[in-house]
Structure 1
């Protein structure tokens, strides 16, 4: 094979790859099946008094046709922040935007009128246990590796002995997306997982194992803040 032919074949392969990538990236613009904002409200009670926190998340659903190299083409683009829950004792718990691919908007009833979730505007729906957002906290807000999982049933361990979870609701809204997590976790805009440096030094001591923790830390920023849109 001559050098000229090799160069031409290489350029041809690069152009083809770029074209395929371009089609995959741009076709989403033409296959939006739904776009909406919803308000998540979490209701707690502390010492007999209500504690209510809420925030707005935006989602856009893309369902383009699959290409030969793809097996799953639909996806949800998300814009929003994890919801801070501020307890009177000073502790802050965060309700994640998503966790392990699950999003709270799945709590909306299926098959809305007209086929879009905006048809549910003005109606509030209770979030069942399978779709409740994952709760986390940090023993040190300046240290992302001090992360701890929080159980709704054991919220008193963080929020105080008389804290309890009441319920959660979601509702379609036109309100702007809530952005507030960086006020409590300033590292969220610059964090890069360096867990290898912390292995054996007590990092993630509240999580099941190192491998679970590594995966969590790799995706932590996406769980706390998304800006897909």
Structure 2
């Protein structure tokens, strides 16, 4: 009898937990970031598509003050310039809320309802597109030697010429909600060392907390 009661209790708890977890609302969209760079009057572009998932948190996380869980899957956008120089727009590392999980919600803020879940529903069904404001630009980097991750260098969006030479300037970065598939495999083709990276980039270089490159690693280029 006791075993039967315990079994009923276990089943009830399992069903209740299953309802709590599998009945959670989820919203997804694909967002495309495009870089446009001018070199001596010629335009060079590169883009990447990231999938963003926003899911209603389970009851415990809600009680802790985290009503939503954000996730992203995809790769950093980059553009190839002459002489095999590359400019990368990282998945994070820039100003607060410039990462892929929340940047669309912030950039399109004025075009969306103020409250959840309405703004998530509208954004996921939209095809919004705009130029990314300077305040939300992701961290831009390049590599002085593409085969050596420790040669990573931060690029000033207002002065690409300081890194790439005269005649090179950032025209703009754009973000749009799209139906295009998530970008996969492009970063590994360019950065052959990416898959073998086990420490933050420049991990053998002494970087101080708060520096732009502090903690930048594999996840800054690819999210899976």
The TM-score with structure 2 as length reference comes to 0.73
1:98 to 78, 88, 92: 92
> For each residue in 1:50-100, what CA deviation from the matched residue of structure 2 results, as whole angstroms up to 9, or x when unmatched?
111111111001231552783435232111111122111321121112226
2:201 touches 2:217 (CA, 8 Å); kept in 1?
no
> For each residue in 1:107-145, what CA deviation from the matched residue of structure 2 results, as whole angstroms up to 9, or x when unmatched?
123563753213322x32121112112101122222222
5+ long unaligned stretches in structure 1 = 1-18
More helix by share: 1
Deviation at 1:184, TM superposition (A): 1.4
Question: 2:57 matched to 1:67?
Answer: no
1:38 touches 1:170 (CA, 8 Å); kept in 2?
yes
How many matched pairs? 194
2:202, 2:42 → 1: CA distance?
43
3-state SS of paired residue (1:157) = helix
Distance 1:112 1:220, change over 3 A: same
- Say what the alpha-carbon RMSD is for the aligned residues: 3.1
Pairwise mapping of residues 22-37 of structure 1 onto structure 2 (< 5 A)?
27=21, 30-37=23-30
The TM-score with structure 1 as length reference comes to 0.72
2:151 touches 2:202 (CA, 8 Å); kept in 1?
no
Structure 1 residue aligned with 2:170:
165
Question: 2:40 matched to 1:44?
Answer: no
